[in-house]
Structure 1
Amino acid sequence: MGLLGKLVKFLLGPCLKPTTTGGDSESLGPYGVSAVTVGDSALALDLFNFEITSQVPEGLSQHVVSSKKAQANWYRKLVEAWREAQPPPRTAEEEARLVIQTLNRQQKAVEGLLAFYGLPLPHAVVEVPAKLPTSWPQGVQFEFQTLPVDARAVADGDGLAVYVSTADPTESSRVPNEVQMAAVQRAKARAKKNYTKADELHKKITDAGYRVLNIQNEEILARKCRIRLRGIDAPENEMPYGQEAKQELVRLLEGKCLRVLVYGEDQFERTVADLHCNGIFVQEELLKKGAAWHYAAYDQRPEFARWEKEARRRRVGLWASSNPEKPWEWRKHRRGGRS
């Protein structure tokens, strides 16, 4: 018996045997157990069986459309996540959270598995705030991961829109019920080839700040988030070097998933954040390339001043000009009616 099997046997004991409970039949998973009783043990048993046989449970395909190979890959990830969990899940909510966190970019897999085991749906799982990592800069409130960035969503050299999967643990509990319902109804409408109805429902979703994205042939419900990079100010698009600064940001981010460290919101309700991409600190890269100024009025980090000074010395990017106009002064002049 493997490590996971011993752990399951020790923790769950007699609960491993599927049990029929009373109550509303709609709340029961395929094993006849509810999320509030021993529904979580059914997943533990299946993970134990998968570790031994490499076989996914019969009946799962009624809840998901992915291939057996894809299903097996999910269970491998879940087995590993269960092993690493300290302590291992003991409640339905903890099991649901493990599934969401392990398969956080595969919305249909998450929803199918939760339905199969009768576990709480993502919006019903309340996340426990994590302890702030010591590696976060001072002032960071939380972080999240984005879906791949669309180049068309980059507005200028220091701002863009990103999408965050609602299966992400930081998002799952915040999705409005009406958005969840619209997404489910849209999927049903598309399955019936009622595309007019599906488009109407998608408009309802987008009006609420969400969108259904197709990523690697999988539809993902995601929230739109507008981001303003903290501590830098790039030339506006209409300014000299404005388009070059924008393209530099596109080059860095297009098609990539981002790690977003959030400080708060600005007066335009944009998320003010640090961005990290494939191990690169985006603001550092932009400052060193001369694609932005250090915005010292709002961020006094000494390394930002140092990176700008380095670009000035090398006369790269906007610093190739002998006297580039500061973006904040340009905006002030525009507001005052000056060209």
Structure 2
Amino acid sequence: MKKLICSALCAGVLLTLSACGQKKQEEALAEWTREGYFQDEDENMLSVTWMEDIDEPGWYVGCMLGEDPIEDSWGGTLPQEGNALKGTLTSSGSKEPLNVTVTEDGTDGLALAVDGGETYHFTKFDMPEATIFITINTEGWGNIAYTEGEQTPEVDEEYPYQSAVINLEKPETYTFLAWPSVGNIFVKWTKNGKDFSNEAQITVDLDETADYIAVFEEDPDWQNPVMNFVGNYESGRAHALVECFGKEEAWITIEWGSSVSELARWDINGRLDPETKTIDYSTATKTIIVFNEKGEIVKDEIAYENGTGSIVFNDDGTFTWHEDQSEYDEDMVFEWVSGSEDN
């Protein structure tokens, strides 16, 4: 069953008054009474909770409209307008905020209307009381994934987990998966501080409260693949220095003198794909440096940031640089300088 991942939810009950015409008597807002957890037929979840211990006590509303507990969840404090809670809910992930209106629906339900979108109809839902509490953590540099049942968990390479909490009403079977960050290796799983398994993927019967830890350590044999290309390179008046950066990335500095008094410098950082020997980058900085007759810097100005392009290391010891922002419709080929490995 999908579990609600919203925090306690609430939005301020304002004693605003609604006017019906210029001379009609103002009437107080009706008291908001429907709170707790709600679920619709698609197992979307809604929570409305009064919050006292915040700067402006009120009703906090949270919803999960989909499968992803992060990307499909929104929450925020909503003011009461008339007989509705109305305002903006902020995403727990990267999605846009939702402008919503919450109203009573039926004898004990709620309707959540999204501006410009759907209206969801929820009925009262009794949240199961958890009796088994499971924590999953990491020690060292690595990641985890988990899922109900015995199938292999899906791995989120972009936003991996390093910790998780599972609260269960009754015993269930789960599968845990651990995988190391670059330059590290998986060692073992522990349960409540004791060795549990040397397998990265384990299927466990969660029938008691427990703490699981995936243990990782640095790989003593790991070498940054950029090490094979470290050194100085030249292309006409341009000079390049290739260095290792972190476990798998490169830092490349390219300098090109347009004249005796002006120099352009690019600082490029990116991950090397060992199979294609390619670095696709998107955070390069180009700087223009101007010198006076004494060789002193009189101008040091950034021309652009977040530059994009690619660097491909060729089998003949050269590398090809493609700059998307280049004023010239031509790639540059840099040749390795003999003896630069000693620098």
Pairwise TM-score range, normalised by the shorter structure: under 0.3
Task: Give the strand-richer structure, 1 or 2.
Answer: 2
Query: Higher relative CO (CA 8 A, sep ≥ 6), structure 1 or 2?
Result: 1
TM-score of the superposed pair, with normalisation by structure 2: 0.26
Task: Give the helix-richer structure, 1 or 2.
Answer: 1
